[in-house]
Chains A and B, each alone.
Chain A
Amino acid sequence: MSLTNKVTAEDILRISGVDASRCMQCGKCSGACPNYDEMDYHPHQFAAMVRKGKITELMESKALYQCLSCFACSQRCPRGVEPAKLIEAVRLSVIRQKGKNYMTADALPEKLDEKIPQQALVSAMRKYSK
């Protein structure tokens, strides 16, 4: 996947509201992570790499989609860094890339399925049309 827009650490800070520089690299987040073995980058690495501005690597990582968004990492963090929000911010940055993962209203009818709750479609629309 090629990225059209450069995403900086400041962007991640703006989207997530999380200041990665508060992280003291204790690893409690990764210790708490229930899906650690599946992820190529781990919660504490998100904090460390965002701080170093290595956002591109994170945007191309598998981990974005392996994260369960269970928020165990955020809940355990002793310094209020909230890695889950960082991961979510990186994920959003990928979604917000122009020309990528875009969802238009026209594409909706063919995705309609009686089993999908309406709410899921609305939220998908919200998330993927930015």
Chain B
Amino acid sequence: MQKIGVFVCWCGSNIAATVDVKAVAEALKDEAGVVFSTDYQYMCSENGQAMIRQAIKDYGLTGIVVCSCSPRMHEATFRKTAVSAGLNPYMVEIANIREQCSWIHKDMAEGTEKAIVLARAAVAKLHRNAPLTAGTSPVTKRALVIGGGIAGIQTALDVADAGFEVDIVEKSPTIGGRMAQLDKTFPTLDCSACILTPKMVEAAQHEKINIISYAELESLSGFVGNFTATIRKKARYIDEDKCSGCGVCTEKCPSRKGLDDFNMRLNKRGAVYIPFAQAIPNVAVIDADQCIHFRTGKCGLCQKNCSAGAIDFEQKDQLIERQYGAIVVATGFKPIDASQFNEYAYNDSPDVVTSLEFERIMNAAGPTKGQLVRPSDLEHPHEIVFIQCVGSRCSEDAEKGKPYCSKICCMYTAKHAMLVREKYPDVNVHVFYIDARTPGKNFDEFYRRAVEQYGVDYIKGMVGKVSVEGKKLHVQGSDLLNGEQVHINADMVVLATAIEPDPTARSLGTMLTASMDTNDFFTEAHPKLRPVESPTAGVFLSGVAQGPKDIPETVAQAGAAAAKVIGLLAKNELTCNACVAHANEAVCNGCSQCERVCPYGAITYEDREIRTPEFRGVRRIATVNEAVCQGCGACTVTCPSGAMDLKGFTNRQIMSEVDAICR
């Protein structure tokens, strides 16, 4: 039997004006288990707290009920008071008689009656309370960043600068990501490589950052602070330590059939290649599908010519297992496949290109060395048509395309149009747009400059059809503002394709038990207040993996994710939530229902030896990982056998409250 003390607060006149506090204290004296009941002007004051401490000692109280303001206000205060008097903090219950009683009721009798009921409910609940201890778990002080684009690099740099070890796992042979492929960046038109490559170098040289390139996460187990990751480092058939990146092998390689992914497959490359000049690590990689040695067993020219002896045809995939405290998802995006939009003749003509392909064409290090030429005949174009919203803003049930706005296309199309007009004033540029969306610092000014200073022809409307007519592309679209259909004989058509999450995101999300939306973007823990955290504790989001965004937003989010990672890694151990779910092993039958509803993946199953009067033997039992459980209680209601219960809000506790209120 509990020995309960009841403390009724006046809150000055806030409570006392509409609730007869003395009557409440008096009425509660008759409750079973209540050995002490009193009232005081300000319970939360030092004197009030001293009074509580004294009563706990004098009466040997096992629990206290404080009738005062909302528990959201002072529950923590009174729990501390209880702890300082030697009581378990979870043996404190608050009856909210201010916000939910005195402040909303004007009639004294009514208010007093309700306050008594609320206090009784709190006493009833307290009878069922048990002391709870929050568990702790250690934190591994190392972070894993998945994806080595600008988002991953920035997060890694920020975390590493705070003094923690960071591993970047990048699936391609080099870090840099999509930003490395860009020519210029809006709205300042500074060269993308010029601002990105120093960051790549900084990451590579940082003593706390370890770049694992050409590698993917194979499996993951554990929970916040204690993840164990297995990383598959794919065989690149080059000894990374020996290769100096001199590039002799790439020149000697006789195979010329591989398509250059970095240049959006616009040109061919050798079977052994370095993705681009500033690649990090600056190490070659052999494409085994194209390599003559792997296909016929002969050749080996690269090996013969490598002065460093770095070529290793025997190299195998390598599995690296490592512990991490936090994981950052920075898997980025890819443009959607434009070939599904056949109305734009993407499959019919090489002169219809996507924006990222156009980016490479415009780039000085690209397949055309920065010369704007048609891919089909390498001739200089005179009419270029840009089509926006290709695959963006389609209806949810559409067969192709994405329902969201890809956010960056309006701006990069304005950038492309402007760059073309600046370098080649003889080229006419037309942009078909639905809405020009330019909310960002200096964005609208940039777009207006394209229209007003560079004379870019913006046409509000969409293109219905592009057809190949001889060497030209016949573009038929509507001009909604002038109420006419326009026909343009263009030399090139550039499609502003929607962006979608990287195809690896879905399987990664499953591995991390991090939730994703229907478009495979990772969902944040709270859309407004926790935008860089995944609902899964210890997993953070950076960059486009979470949703479409431009470079400055990505960098800002990467920094925010880093701050959250640092906040986690700075702790030596994590205090878990004490109000967690717990399965009663005598009743649990291991049906797996609870696991399915848990949003955190906190529930696993283990075979445990059970000894009850009814059953002796090994049975599959649900086990809650207290470090991961957030205490929502979804599992408790789902459990068909009633084995699952939530500490602090047990079925019996809530039932007792219900009974007390309905008495």
Contact = CB atoms under 8 A, between A and B. Distances in A.
A and B touch in the complex (CB under 8 A): yes
Interface of A: 22, 24-33, 36-37, 42, 44, 72-73, 76, 78-80
A44 B478 CA distance: 10
Contacts of A27: 434, 460-462, 477-480
B397 A78 contact: no
A24 B480 CA distance: 12
B394 interface: yes
A36 B479 CA distance: 12
Interface string B425-465: 00000001010000000000000000000000000111111
Interface of B: 343, 389, 393-395, 397-398, 401, 432, 434, 460-465, 476-480, 483, 485
A31 B398 contact: no
Contacts of A80: 395, 397-398
A78 B394 contact: yes
B463 A31 contact: yes
B480 A32 contact: no
A32 B398 contact: no
Contacts of A78: 389, 393-395, 398, 401
B49 to A, nearest CB: 60
B476 A79 contact: no
Given A32-B464, A32-B465, A33-B478, 4 more contacts: A31-B463, A31-B464, A33-B464, A42-B478
Given A25-B480, A37-B485, A44-B478, A32 B394 contact: no
Contacts of B463: 28, 31
7 contacts: A26-B434, A26-B462, A27-B434, A27-B477, A27-B479, A30-B478, A79-B394
Contact of B485 (A30, A72, A76, A79): A30
Contact of B465 (A24, A31, A37, A42): A31
A25 B461 CA distance: 8
Nearest to B392: A78
Contacts of A29: 464, 478
Given A25-B480, A26-B462, A33 B485 contact: yes
A22 B398 CA distance: 12
B464 A28 contact: yes
Contacts of B389: 26, 78
A76 B395 contact: no
Given A22-B395, A24-B434, A26-B434, A72 B464 contact: yes
B482 to A, nearest CB: 11
Contacts of A22: 395
Contacts of B461: 26-28, 30-31
Contacts of B462: 26-28, 31
Nearest to A39: B485
A25 B433 CA distance: 11
Contact of A32 (B343, B393, B460): B343
B477 A31 contact: yes
Going nearest first, the 8 A-B pairs with the smallest beta carbon separation are A32-B464, A31-B464, A28-B462, A27-B461, A30-B478, A31-B477, A27-B478, A36-B485
Most buried by A among B389, B395, B478: B478
B476 A31 contact: yes
B356 to A, nearest CB: 21
A73 B477 CA distance: 12
Contacts of A36: 478, 485
A70 B197 CA distance: 52
A85 B623 CA distance: 57
Nearest to B432: A31
Contacts of A25: 434, 480
Contacts of B460: 27
A72 B389 CA distance: 19
Contacts of B477: 27-28, 31
A118 to B, nearest CB: 36
B467 to A, nearest CB: 11
Contacts of A31: 432, 461-465, 476-478, 485
A42 B478 CA distance: 10
A85 B289 CA distance: 50
A79 B401 CA distance: 10
Nearest to A36: B485
A79 B399 CA distance: 10
B254 to A, nearest CB: 46
A4 B134 CA distance: 77
A83 to B, nearest CB: 11
Nearest to A48: B480
B394 to A, nearest CB: 4
A36 B343 CA distance: 17
B409 to A, nearest CB: 13
A101 B240 CA distance: 82
A89 B434 CA distance: 26
Contacts of B395: 22, 78-80
A78 B477 CA distance: 15
Given A72-B464, A76-B464, A80-B397, A44 B343 contact: no
A27 B432 CA distance: 10
A79 B397 CA distance: 8
B398 A79 contact: yes
B338 to A, nearest CB: 14
Contacts of B476: 31-32
A57 to B, nearest CB: 15
